[in-house]
Structure 1
Amino acid sequence: MGQRLLLVDSDRSFLKEHQVSLEAAFDLEVASSPEGVVSRLEEGDFAAALICVEVADNKGYALCSTLRRHPFLGGLKIALISAKATEEEYRRHRSLKGRADLYLNKPIAPSALVAALSPLVPGRAVDPDNPLGDLMDTELGEDWLDGMKGAMEAPSSRPVPESVPVPPAPPFLAPEPARAVETRATAPTDTPRARLLEAQIDALREELRTKELRLREAESEVQKRTSSVTLNLDEAAAAKREAQALKARLAETEAALTARDRELADHKEKGHVLQLNLAGLEVAMRAQERDLAELGDRLRQAEAELGASQASLREAEARIQTLHERLQERQEEITRLTAEASGLRQRLDETTVQHDGERLELMNGLDQKDAQLARLTETLAEQREASAVLEREKQAAYGQLSEHRDRLRNLDTLLQELQEQLRRGSDLARG
């Protein structure tokens, strides 16, 4: 099992409030984005990772799932913290395979956060000669000192969050149970093992008292330094008022220098913020470039599909035009044959009325005419059938044309959406 804690969060206010407490309790490293976290965890000796759900546009859940699927990070403990997640959202995530070991909510007190992470991460080793380590020269402030005092109090007086397990109190602060005292008092003292245990217990007590005294001395030293800083500030204010009373120009110069110092500090802070923003923008730019490349591929694919659809549409229109011409020719031929049949019938009727007496003699000719009429009728039926076939082909062609037009409209809509996304991506890239 590892010994270190990796915090993945880009919330500067959260880091400002909790980083000192976390560094005092654990061996801490901070990452402002999910990029490179997996390789960092592979290379380092990490016991747990505290991941903010909202980091890098809500990629905390995805990072948690990636770490859970990693074959070499099976023993890594994962804690999720969020300023927006609800209990229902956490409950759904607990039912997944990529769930975390601990779920926290912002805002959270520094002491409560340290207490919640203590079961997951081994505590930082404390040097008896320097309990505060590298924090001795750091201006911690009264809030941090109050948090440290609250973290070192007994479990009965420490605030316990509802959804966070509370670790056991440090051994040098926990009161000794009365039952253990009674057992030790009544245990036989004439055995070597009991005497050895009592000697070890006395040595441990003495060592714990020494460490507690050193810790209290360190707290007193921090309080003295805080009081000294406050006293120095009061003296500086009095000297400034006296200088203003003695020489107005010197006061103006000092005020200008102070303003310049503040401006320089503001510029340094702004520079640091700009560096962080630049790093975030570079990450966003890389993501936008990938998105733009994907959009360009999709746009080229849509243009190719649009060109193929337009070619198919032109071919369908040419076929429809040819079918129209053939249908018009068939209709003209049907009209001509119908007129000829009408003329023949009319001539037959006139011949029958005028030459009723010659009917027997003309029977053979009439049979020939009837046969010719039958052939014409058969031809007319064939032409009508051919016309019906052409009409069906025409309807099918109209259906294909309507389908191609619908696909063309869909492709035009998709092309407009892709162009709009491409324009937005370009605006974001330029911004």
Structure 2
Amino acid sequence: MGQRLLLVDSDRSFLKEHQVSLEAAFDLEVAKSPEGVTTFLEMGDFAAVLICVEVADNKGYALCSTIRKQAALSGIKIALISAKATEEEYRRHQSLKGRADLYLHKPIAPSALVAALAPLVPGRSVDPDNPLGDLADTEMGDDWLDGLKASVAEPPPPPPTPSRPAPAAPAPTVPKSSRATQPPDTTRAHLLEEQVVALREELRLRGQQLQEAEDYLHQQIGATTLNLDEMSARDEMLAAAQKEANDAKEQAHILQLKLAGVEAASRGQDRDLAGLSDRLKQVEAELEAARAQSGEREQQAQTLQEQLQMRQEEITRLTVQVSGLRQQLDESTVQHEGERLELMNGLDQKDAELARMAHTLTEQREAYTALEREKQAAHGKLSEHRDRLKNLETLLQEVQEHLRRGSDLAKG
């Protein structure tokens, strides 16, 4: 089982409030984005990871699922913390295969957060000479440093005394120009050194304030023995001075703990510088390989540029051909339009001629019909004449028969 805790959160106020207490209780690492977290977990000796659901636009659930899917990370406990998730949302997530081992809500007190994570992560062993342990690679953050500088620049006013010691000289700082040109890890080491110097200076000032408060307390105690009439007022002033002295002692103790943590972090940075040097050599080798690849890609880009130039020339030639074809098409369109108009005019003339012929045909059909009617009437009259002729022939035959009979009678 691992021994370290990884916090994945980009909420600066949450880190400012809880990072010191988490570092005092556990061996803590901080990541402000989900990128590279799984690789970091595989390389480190981690027991658990605390993931903020809202990190990097609500990618906390996805990171939890990704960790659960990797067999190499099956032994790592996962805790989720959110400022927006509801209990119903957490219950739905608990029903999934990629569920977490612990679900927490923001805001949460630092002591409560440490107590909730204690079953998942082994606690830091306390060394009497180094209460905060080996805080290698600790990142206090710019907000913590600004707050520390503000507290050093504006210490609480000490009790009034007849005389004050001369103000201490400001702690030496590294110029910003030189800091900007140094590697990130060297800058972090200088930052930790500045924090150590600032903490020592603040501790010295607190010690002076404590000494002044004790001197003032002794003066007040001596004054109370000489003037009994002002005893009640002196008691209140003594109580205030005692309270200030206790506060100064407590702040001095806290500063000693912070100083021990920063010194341990500085020692861890020194140990890591050797490893970072090897890593720098490896990165330089990778940079050379990348430069070689860049040269090859530049050659490929030049070749592609030449091909692109050829394609552009071909496109220009085809564009000229297309322009010529379009001109021919326009001329053909004009010619075809004239021919179509002539054809339409011819069709109109043919239509007019067909109309005249149709009218003539209609008149001829009407004349044929009239002739047919006359023909039928003539056939009717001819039939009547034939009937009359037949009747006349019959009468003639009868007359001939009568004449023949008369002739026979005349002969007999």
TM range (shorter): 0.3 to 0.5
Question: How does the TM-score come out when normalised to structure 2?
Answer: 0.40
Greater C-alpha radius of gyration:
2
Question: How does the TM-score come out when normalised to structure 1?
Answer: 0.38
